Structure 1
């Protein structure tokens, strides 16, 4: 994906009410320009991104699980260039 790789370990406990879930995700060497090729602001972006996410949540739908999840997100970009407008949007 986007010239790199994404690995994920997702665990859902359907016997709990509401369902509980956790996700551990690792992204490596994602080329930012290729990540969103149809977004004009991304076409001026250079570099690769690495990241890790650890999320825990509960809910009976994907939206509910993500909506009340807690965790950590770490992103690292080496030798890259991100436009000021994109940084303002991300914010």
Structure 2
């Protein structure tokens, strides 16, 4: 995958956040490096497309959480409070 510099920086920041979440005990972050990179890539895409999709600035975090649940959780009804945090 080819990224411009801004996208590469965004990916590295997102990956660092996902890895920090894993180190802090968050199982949602993914147990292996490839999965965490996949989560970070998806997060950057979702965040970057928010304006085009009509998501207000104030709802971006909730939209990101919903997008990650939709992309990675086979049983979203079981996520519950984790998605609201």
Structure with more helix by fraction: 2
Normalization by structure 2: what TM-score?
A: 0.29
Structure with more strand by fraction: 1
Normalization by structure 1: what TM-score?
A: 0.28
Q: Which has the higher contact order (CA 8 A, sep 6+)?
A: 1
